[in-house]
Amino acid sequence: MSEARTVALLMAAGRGVRSGGGVPKQFRTLGGRPMLAHAYRALRLHPAVAEVVVVAAADQHAAVADALGVEGVRLVAGGATRRESVRNGLEVLADNPPARVLIHDAARPFLPAEVIDRLLAALGTYAGAIPALPVADTLVRYDGVMSDTVDRTALYRVQTPQAFVYGAVLTAHRSWPADQDPTDDAQMVRDTGHEITLVQGDPMLEKITHPQDFAYAEARLAAASDVRVATGFDVHRLEAGERLWLGGVLIPHDKGLSGHSDADVALHAITDALLGTIVDGDIGSHFPPSDPRWRGADSAHFLQHAADLIATGGGTISFVDLTIICEAPKIGPHRDAIRARIADLLRLPLRQVSVKATTTERLGFTGRGEGIAAQAVATVRLPRD
Ligand code: MG
Protein backbone atom coordinates (compact mmCIF):
# COMPACT_ATOMS: atom_id res chain seq x y z
CA MET A 1 0.00 0.00 0.00
CA SER A 2 1.40 3.35 -1.00
CA GLU A 3 1.56 5.92 1.78
CA ALA A 4 -0.74 8.38 0.07
CA ARG A 5 -3.38 5.94 -1.14
CA THR A 6 -6.54 7.85 -1.95
CA VAL A 7 -10.04 6.38 -2.09
CA ALA A 8 -13.09 8.26 -3.31
CA LEU A 9 -16.58 7.89 -1.87
CA LEU A 10 -19.21 8.71 -4.46
CA MET A 11 -22.46 9.62 -2.72
CA ALA A 12 -25.46 8.47 -4.73
CA ALA A 13 -27.88 7.62 -1.96
CA GLY A 14 -30.46 10.31 -2.74
CA ARG A 15 -34.01 9.37 -3.59
CA GLY A 16 -35.07 12.82 -4.77
CA VAL A 17 -37.11 12.84 -7.96
CA ARG A 18 -37.69 16.61 -8.05
CA SER A 19 -35.25 16.91 -10.97
CA GLY A 20 -37.96 15.20 -13.04
CA GLY A 21 -37.93 12.01 -15.10
CA GLY A 22 -39.50 9.94 -12.29
CA VAL A 23 -36.21 8.37 -11.17
CA PRO A 24 -33.68 9.57 -8.58
CA LYS A 25 -31.61 12.16 -10.36
CA GLN A 26 -28.35 10.22 -10.18
CA PHE A 27 -29.91 7.74 -12.64
CA ARG A 28 -31.25 10.34 -15.06
CA THR A 29 -29.49 10.33 -18.40
CA LEU A 30 -27.04 13.10 -19.12
CA GLY A 31 -25.09 13.04 -22.36
CA GLY A 32 -26.32 9.54 -23.10
CA ARG A 33 -25.41 7.93 -19.79
CA PRO A 34 -26.72 7.97 -16.22
CA MET A 35 -25.57 11.05 -14.30
CA LEU A 36 -23.63 9.14 -11.66
CA ALA A 37 -21.52 7.47 -14.35
CA HIS A 38 -19.95 10.85 -15.18
CA ALA A 39 -18.62 11.56 -11.69
CA TYR A 40 -17.62 7.91 -11.27
CA ARG A 41 -15.57 8.02 -14.43
CA ALA A 42 -13.88 11.32 -13.54
CA LEU A 43 -12.80 9.91 -10.18
CA ARG A 44 -11.81 6.51 -11.57
CA LEU A 45 -9.63 7.99 -14.30
CA HIS A 46 -7.69 10.26 -11.94
CA PRO A 47 -4.26 8.67 -11.49
CA ALA A 48 -4.16 9.41 -7.75
CA VAL A 49 -7.48 7.70 -7.00
CA ALA A 50 -6.97 4.02 -6.20
CA GLU A 51 -10.62 3.06 -5.83
CA VAL A 52 -14.07 4.58 -6.10
CA VAL A 53 -16.60 3.23 -3.59
CA VAL A 54 -20.23 4.08 -4.33
CA VAL A 55 -22.66 4.73 -1.46
CA ALA A 56 -26.26 4.11 -2.55
CA ALA A 57 -29.52 2.84 -1.10
CA ALA A 58 -29.27 -0.95 -0.78
CA ASP A 59 -32.29 -1.48 -3.04
CA GLN A 60 -30.59 0.58 -5.76
CA HIS A 61 -27.30 -1.32 -5.88
CA ALA A 62 -28.33 -3.30 -8.94
CA ALA A 63 -29.34 -0.07 -10.68
CA VAL A 64 -25.99 1.51 -9.77
CA ALA A 65 -24.01 -1.43 -11.12
CA ASP A 66 -26.04 -1.28 -14.31
CA ALA A 67 -25.62 2.50 -14.63
CA LEU A 68 -21.85 2.29 -14.21
CA GLY A 69 -21.53 -0.61 -16.61
CA VAL A 70 -18.36 -1.91 -14.98
CA GLU A 71 -17.76 -5.01 -12.90
CA GLY A 72 -16.49 -5.22 -9.36
CA VAL A 73 -17.39 -1.75 -8.03
CA ARG A 74 -17.59 -1.74 -4.22
CA LEU A 75 -21.10 -0.67 -3.19
CA VAL A 76 -22.05 0.43 0.30
CA ALA A 77 -25.57 0.86 1.66
CA GLY A 78 -26.55 4.44 2.37
CA GLY A 79 -28.21 5.59 5.59
CA ALA A 80 -31.24 7.71 6.44
CA THR A 81 -29.25 10.94 6.17
CA ARG A 82 -26.27 12.07 4.15
CA ARG A 83 -24.17 12.00 7.31
CA GLU A 84 -25.07 8.36 7.96
CA SER A 85 -24.35 7.51 4.34
CA VAL A 86 -20.89 9.07 4.48
CA ARG A 87 -20.23 7.37 7.81
CA ASN A 88 -21.17 3.98 6.30
CA GLY A 89 -18.73 4.58 3.46
CA LEU A 90 -15.93 5.65 5.78
CA GLU A 91 -16.44 2.64 8.06
CA VAL A 92 -16.18 0.22 5.15
CA LEU A 93 -12.73 1.63 4.39
CA ALA A 94 -11.50 1.07 7.95
CA ASP A 95 -10.35 -2.50 7.23
CA ASN A 96 -7.67 -1.24 4.87
CA PRO A 97 -7.53 2.46 5.69
CA PRO A 98 -6.47 4.80 2.89
CA ALA A 99 -4.34 7.84 3.68
CA ARG A 100 -6.80 10.23 2.08
CA VAL A 101 -10.42 10.20 1.10
CA LEU A 102 -12.42 12.27 -1.38
CA ILE A 103 -16.15 12.60 -0.70
CA HIS A 104 -18.09 13.58 -3.79
CA ASP A 105 -21.74 14.00 -4.77
CA ALA A 106 -23.02 12.19 -7.84
CA ALA A 107 -25.12 15.30 -8.53
CA ARG A 108 -21.95 17.13 -9.57
CA PRO A 109 -21.17 15.12 -12.70
CA PHE A 110 -18.48 17.27 -14.33
CA LEU A 111 -15.39 16.98 -12.18
CA PRO A 112 -12.19 18.44 -13.65
CA ALA A 113 -9.02 16.51 -12.77
CA GLU A 114 -7.38 19.83 -11.84
CA VAL A 115 -9.76 20.23 -8.90
CA ILE A 116 -8.71 16.83 -7.55
CA ASP A 117 -5.05 17.81 -8.06
CA ARG A 118 -5.54 20.99 -6.04
CA LEU A 119 -7.40 19.20 -3.24
CA LEU A 120 -4.81 16.46 -2.84
CA ALA A 121 -1.92 18.94 -2.96
CA ALA A 122 -3.56 20.90 -0.12
CA LEU A 123 -3.82 17.74 2.01
CA GLY A 124 -0.04 17.85 2.31
CA THR A 125 -0.58 20.74 4.73
CA TYR A 126 -4.18 20.54 5.94
CA ALA A 127 -6.42 17.78 7.31
CA GLY A 128 -9.15 18.88 4.94
CA ALA A 129 -9.56 20.81 1.69
CA ILE A 130 -12.71 21.87 -0.12
CA PRO A 131 -13.27 23.43 -3.54
CA ALA A 132 -14.99 26.80 -3.42
CA LEU A 133 -15.83 29.71 -5.67
CA PRO A 134 -16.20 33.35 -4.75
CA VAL A 135 -19.71 34.77 -4.75
CA ALA A 136 -20.12 36.91 -7.86
CA ASP A 137 -23.57 38.33 -7.23
CA THR A 138 -24.40 41.13 -4.85
CA LEU A 139 -25.91 39.73 -1.63
CA VAL A 140 -28.60 41.55 0.32
CA ARG A 141 -30.58 40.85 3.44
CA TYR A 142 -34.30 40.68 2.99
CA ASP A 143 -36.94 41.22 5.64
CA GLY A 144 -39.99 41.98 3.54
CA VAL A 145 -38.11 44.77 1.81
CA MET A 146 -34.48 44.97 0.83
CA SER A 147 -32.24 45.58 3.82
CA ASP A 148 -28.43 45.87 4.06
CA THR A 149 -26.03 44.68 1.41
CA VAL A 150 -23.84 41.84 2.68
CA ASP A 151 -20.10 42.15 2.15
CA ARG A 152 -19.33 39.22 -0.12
CA THR A 153 -15.55 39.51 -0.15
CA ALA A 154 -15.16 36.83 2.52
CA LEU A 155 -17.97 34.59 1.24
CA TYR A 156 -17.49 31.49 -0.87
CA ARG A 157 -19.74 28.87 -2.43
CA VAL A 158 -18.65 25.38 -1.42
CA GLN A 159 -18.56 22.46 -3.86
CA THR A 160 -17.51 18.83 -3.72
CA PRO A 161 -15.42 16.69 -3.73
CA GLN A 162 -14.22 17.45 -0.25
CA ALA A 163 -10.84 15.93 0.58
CA PHE A 164 -9.66 14.77 3.97
CA VAL A 165 -6.96 12.92 5.75
CA TYR A 166 -8.88 9.67 6.29
CA GLY A 167 -8.23 9.36 10.02
CA ALA A 168 -9.41 12.92 10.66
CA VAL A 169 -12.75 12.57 8.88
CA LEU A 170 -13.39 9.12 10.33
CA THR A 171 -12.79 10.43 13.87
CA ALA A 172 -15.02 13.43 13.21
CA HIS A 173 -17.86 11.15 12.09
CA ARG A 174 -17.42 8.69 14.94
CA SER A 175 -17.46 11.44 17.55
CA TRP A 176 -20.26 13.55 16.05
CA PRO A 177 -23.35 13.76 18.33
CA ALA A 178 -26.15 11.73 16.79
CA ASP A 179 -28.76 14.43 17.39
CA GLN A 180 -26.88 17.23 15.61
CA ASP A 181 -27.07 17.81 11.91
CA PRO A 182 -23.83 19.10 10.41
CA THR A 183 -23.91 21.12 7.21
CA ASP A 184 -21.14 19.06 5.67
CA ASP A 185 -18.14 16.88 6.33
CA ALA A 186 -15.73 19.81 6.35
CA GLN A 187 -17.67 21.44 9.16
CA MET A 188 -17.48 18.22 11.16
CA VAL A 189 -13.73 17.89 10.71
CA ARG A 190 -13.28 21.57 11.57
CA ASP A 191 -15.28 21.10 14.77
CA THR A 192 -12.81 18.44 15.92
CA GLY A 193 -10.06 21.06 15.85
CA HIS A 194 -8.58 20.73 12.36
CA GLU A 195 -7.98 23.51 9.86
CA ILE A 196 -9.73 23.17 6.53
CA THR A 197 -8.42 25.04 3.52
CA LEU A 198 -10.22 26.25 0.42
CA VAL A 199 -8.94 25.51 -3.06
CA GLN A 200 -10.26 26.94 -6.30
CA GLY A 201 -13.43 25.17 -7.41
CA ASP A 202 -14.78 25.09 -10.94
CA PRO A 203 -17.97 26.39 -12.55
CA MET A 204 -18.30 22.97 -14.26
CA LEU A 205 -18.88 21.46 -10.82
CA GLU A 206 -22.27 23.07 -10.32
CA LYS A 207 -24.77 20.80 -8.61
CA ILE A 208 -27.65 19.46 -10.67
CA THR A 209 -30.91 19.72 -8.79
CA HIS A 210 -33.78 21.03 -10.87
CA PRO A 211 -35.12 19.91 -14.27
CA GLN A 212 -33.70 23.02 -15.94
CA ASP A 213 -30.25 22.14 -14.56
CA PHE A 214 -30.29 19.03 -16.77
CA ALA A 215 -31.02 21.15 -19.83
CA TYR A 216 -28.11 23.48 -19.02
CA ALA A 217 -25.83 20.52 -18.36
CA GLU A 218 -26.77 18.90 -21.68
CA ALA A 219 -25.99 22.15 -23.48
CA ARG A 220 -22.66 22.48 -21.70
CA LEU A 221 -21.78 18.89 -22.52
CA ALA A 222 -22.70 19.37 -26.17
CA ALA A 223 -20.57 22.51 -26.38
CA ALA A 224 -17.58 20.57 -25.06
CA SER A 225 -18.08 17.57 -27.39
CA ASP A 226 -17.43 16.57 -30.95
CA VAL A 227 -19.99 14.39 -32.67
CA ARG A 228 -18.35 11.79 -34.90
CA VAL A 229 -20.10 9.61 -37.45
CA ALA A 230 -18.37 6.62 -39.05
CA THR A 231 -19.39 3.67 -41.19
CA GLY A 232 -18.49 0.00 -41.21
CA PHE A 233 -18.97 -2.63 -43.88
CA ASP A 234 -18.40 -6.38 -43.95
CA VAL A 235 -19.13 -9.49 -46.01
CA HIS A 236 -18.92 -13.18 -45.16
CA ARG A 237 -19.55 -16.23 -47.27
CA LEU A 238 -22.56 -18.48 -46.64
CA GLU A 239 -21.67 -22.15 -46.43
CA ALA A 240 -23.46 -25.34 -45.55
CA GLY A 241 -22.49 -26.84 -42.21
CA GLU A 242 -21.82 -23.48 -40.53
CA ARG A 243 -23.93 -21.85 -37.85
CA LEU A 244 -25.48 -18.49 -38.65
CA TRP A 245 -24.66 -15.76 -36.13
CA LEU A 246 -26.15 -12.38 -37.02
CA GLY A 247 -26.05 -9.42 -34.67
CA GLY A 248 -25.09 -11.67 -31.79
CA VAL A 249 -28.10 -13.93 -32.30
CA LEU A 250 -27.94 -17.56 -33.46
CA ILE A 251 -30.43 -17.83 -36.33
CA PRO A 252 -31.77 -21.15 -37.63
CA HIS A 253 -30.90 -21.47 -41.32
CA ASP A 254 -29.66 -24.17 -43.68
CA LYS A 255 -26.36 -22.32 -44.11
CA GLY A 256 -24.11 -20.28 -41.90
CA LEU A 257 -21.41 -17.68 -42.32
CA SER A 258 -17.84 -18.81 -42.58
CA GLY A 259 -14.80 -16.94 -41.41
CA HIS A 260 -12.03 -17.03 -38.87
CA SER A 261 -14.21 -15.95 -35.95
CA ASP A 262 -17.92 -16.74 -35.65
CA ALA A 263 -18.17 -14.58 -38.83
CA ASP A 264 -20.96 -12.40 -37.42
CA VAL A 265 -20.99 -9.96 -40.30
CA ALA A 266 -23.37 -7.57 -38.52
CA LEU A 267 -21.29 -7.21 -35.36
CA HIS A 268 -18.17 -6.83 -37.51
CA ALA A 269 -19.70 -3.93 -39.44
CA ILE A 270 -20.73 -2.19 -36.21
CA THR A 271 -17.30 -2.81 -34.65
CA ASP A 272 -15.63 -1.13 -37.63
CA ALA A 273 -18.03 1.80 -37.49
CA LEU A 274 -17.25 2.30 -33.79
CA LEU A 275 -13.49 2.06 -34.37
CA GLY A 276 -13.87 4.59 -37.17
CA THR A 277 -15.28 7.21 -34.81
CA ILE A 278 -12.09 7.14 -32.74
CA VAL A 279 -9.76 6.71 -35.73
CA ASP A 280 -8.41 3.50 -34.25
CA GLY A 281 -7.84 1.17 -37.19
CA ASP A 282 -10.30 -1.60 -37.98
CA ILE A 283 -11.38 -4.97 -36.66
CA GLY A 284 -8.54 -6.69 -38.54
CA SER A 285 -5.88 -4.54 -36.91
CA HIS A 286 -7.22 -5.26 -33.42
CA PHE A 287 -8.05 -8.94 -34.00
CA PRO A 288 -5.86 -10.20 -36.87
CA PRO A 289 -7.24 -13.30 -38.64
CA SER A 290 -3.69 -14.71 -38.38
CA ASP A 291 -4.03 -14.86 -34.59
CA PRO A 292 -5.28 -18.33 -33.53
CA ARG A 293 -6.86 -16.78 -30.42
CA TRP A 294 -9.72 -15.48 -32.55
CA ARG A 295 -10.56 -18.79 -34.26
CA GLY A 296 -14.28 -19.28 -33.78
CA ALA A 297 -14.32 -16.27 -31.43
CA ASP A 298 -17.58 -14.75 -30.26
CA SER A 299 -17.75 -11.43 -32.13
CA ALA A 300 -19.47 -9.87 -29.11
CA HIS A 301 -15.94 -9.63 -27.72
CA PHE A 302 -14.79 -7.52 -30.71
CA LEU A 303 -17.78 -5.22 -30.40
CA GLN A 304 -17.32 -4.72 -26.67
CA HIS A 305 -13.63 -4.05 -27.14
CA ALA A 306 -14.45 -1.19 -29.53
CA ALA A 307 -17.06 0.15 -27.11
CA ASP A 308 -14.54 -0.02 -24.26
CA LEU A 309 -12.00 1.96 -26.28
CA ILE A 310 -14.60 4.67 -26.85
CA ALA A 311 -15.55 4.76 -23.17
CA THR A 312 -11.91 4.88 -22.10
CA GLY A 313 -11.44 7.98 -24.23
CA GLY A 314 -14.40 9.63 -22.53
CA GLY A 315 -16.72 9.05 -25.49
CA THR A 316 -20.36 8.06 -25.49
CA ILE A 317 -22.09 6.05 -28.19
CA SER A 318 -25.19 7.98 -29.22
CA PHE A 319 -26.62 5.76 -31.90
CA VAL A 320 -25.98 2.68 -34.02
CA ASP A 321 -27.77 1.91 -37.28
CA LEU A 322 -27.28 -1.47 -38.94
CA THR A 323 -28.40 -2.74 -42.34
CA ILE A 324 -28.19 -6.45 -43.11
CA ILE A 325 -28.18 -7.28 -46.81
CA CYS A 326 -29.24 -10.79 -47.77
CA GLU A 327 -31.83 -12.78 -49.71
CA ALA A 328 -32.36 -15.33 -46.95
CA PRO A 329 -33.01 -15.86 -44.12
CA LYS A 330 -35.71 -13.30 -43.51
CA ILE A 331 -34.43 -10.86 -40.89
CA GLY A 332 -37.82 -9.46 -39.84
CA PRO A 333 -38.67 -12.25 -37.38
CA HIS A 334 -35.25 -11.81 -35.70
CA ARG A 335 -35.00 -8.03 -35.79
CA ASP A 336 -36.16 -7.42 -32.21
CA ALA A 337 -33.81 -10.06 -30.81
CA ILE A 338 -30.87 -8.60 -32.76
CA ARG A 339 -31.64 -5.07 -31.62
CA ALA A 340 -31.94 -6.19 -28.02
CA ARG A 341 -28.67 -8.14 -28.19
CA ILE A 342 -26.71 -5.23 -29.70
CA ALA A 343 -28.22 -2.77 -27.20
CA ASP A 344 -27.28 -5.13 -24.40
CA LEU A 345 -23.70 -5.58 -25.62
CA LEU A 346 -23.23 -1.82 -26.02
CA ARG A 347 -25.20 -1.01 -22.85
CA LEU A 348 -27.44 1.32 -24.82
CA PRO A 349 -31.16 1.92 -24.49
CA LEU A 350 -33.06 0.01 -27.18
CA ARG A 351 -34.16 3.24 -28.85
CA GLN A 352 -30.52 4.02 -29.70
CA VAL A 353 -30.11 0.88 -31.81
CA SER A 354 -31.69 0.53 -35.24
CA VAL A 355 -31.66 -2.69 -37.28
CA LYS A 356 -32.81 -2.79 -40.88
CA ALA A 357 -32.64 -5.41 -43.60
CA THR A 358 -32.84 -5.43 -47.33
CA THR A 359 -32.39 -7.78 -50.27
CA THR A 360 -30.61 -6.94 -53.50
CA GLU A 361 -33.47 -8.16 -55.70
CA ARG A 362 -31.65 -11.44 -56.35
CA LEU A 363 -28.76 -9.52 -57.92
CA GLY A 364 -25.13 -10.02 -57.07
CA PHE A 365 -23.55 -12.36 -54.53
CA THR A 366 -26.11 -11.55 -51.83
CA GLY A 367 -28.92 -12.03 -54.33
CA ARG A 368 -27.55 -15.44 -55.26
CA GLY A 369 -27.32 -16.39 -51.57
CA GLU A 370 -23.54 -16.75 -51.68
CA GLY A 371 -22.98 -14.44 -48.77
CA ILE A 372 -24.36 -11.83 -46.43
CA ALA A 373 -23.25 -8.21 -46.29
CA ALA A 374 -23.79 -5.71 -43.49
CA GLN A 375 -23.22 -2.02 -43.19
CA ALA A 376 -23.38 0.11 -40.08
CA VAL A 377 -23.25 3.73 -39.06
CA ALA A 378 -22.23 4.73 -35.56
CA THR A 379 -22.64 8.15 -33.96
CA VAL A 380 -20.34 8.86 -31.04
CA ARG A 381 -19.83 11.90 -28.87
CA LEU A 382 -16.25 12.55 -27.84
CA PRO A 383 -14.82 15.17 -25.50
CA ARG A 384 -13.20 17.96 -27.50
CA ASP A 385 -9.41 18.02 -27.09
MG1 MG B 1 -15.78 -9.92 -40.83
Calculate the CA dihedral of residues 244, 245, 249, 255 and round it to 10 degrees. -10
The residue with greater pLDDT, 101 or 31, is 101
How many beta carbons lie within 10 A of that of residue 15, not counting itself? 12
Cα of 312 to ligand 1 centre, how many Å?
Answer: 24
The residue with greater pLDDT, 70 or 270, is 270
Contact present, 339 and 319 (Cβ < 8 Å): no
**What letter represents residue 122's amino acid?**
A
Instruction: Report which of 170, 201, 157, 208 is spatially closest to residue 39, judged by C-alpha positions.
Output: 208
Contact present, 11 and 79 (Cβ < 8 Å): no
Cα of 257 to ligand 1 centre, how many Å?
Answer: 10
pLDDT mean over 363-373: 97
| Separation between Cα atoms, residue 227 and residue 225, nearest integer Å | 6
Confidence at 18, pLDDT banded by 50, 70, 90: low
Residues pairing with 198 in the sheet: 130
Please write the tens of the pLDDT for every residue from 49-64.
999 999 999 999 999 9
pLDDT mean over 229-237: 98
The residue with greater pLDDT, 283 or 347, is 283
| Separation between Cα atoms, residue 259 and residue 237, nearest integer Å | 8
The pLDDT value recorded for residue 1 is 42
Please write the tens of the pLDDT for every residue from 215-228.
988 888 888 889 99
Contact present, 67 and 30 (Cβ < 8 Å): no
Give 314's DSSP letter: T
Cα of 320 to ligand 1 centre, how many Å?
Answer: 18
Cα of 351 to ligand 1 centre, how many Å?
Answer: 26
Cα of 245 to ligand 1 centre, how many Å?
Answer: 12
Q: What are the residues whose beta carbons fall under 8 Å from the beta carbon of 183, sequence distance 6 or more?
A: none
Instruction: Report which of 183, 185, 223 is spatially closest to residue 204, judged by C-alpha positions.
Output: 223
Please write the tens of the pLDDT for every residue from 31-53.
878 899 999 989 998 999 999 99
Contact present, 269 and 233 (Cβ < 8 Å): yes
pLDDT mean over 93-111: 96
Cα-based distances in Å from 20 to 33, 63, 302: 16, 18, 37
Is 347 a residue whose pLDDT tops 80?
A: yes
Cα of 124 to ligand 1 centre, how many Å?
Answer: 54
Q: What are the residues whose beta carbons fall under 8 Å from the beta carbon of 312, sequence distance 6 or more?
A: none
Please write the tens of the pLDDT for every residue from 303-322.
999 999 998 888 889 999 99
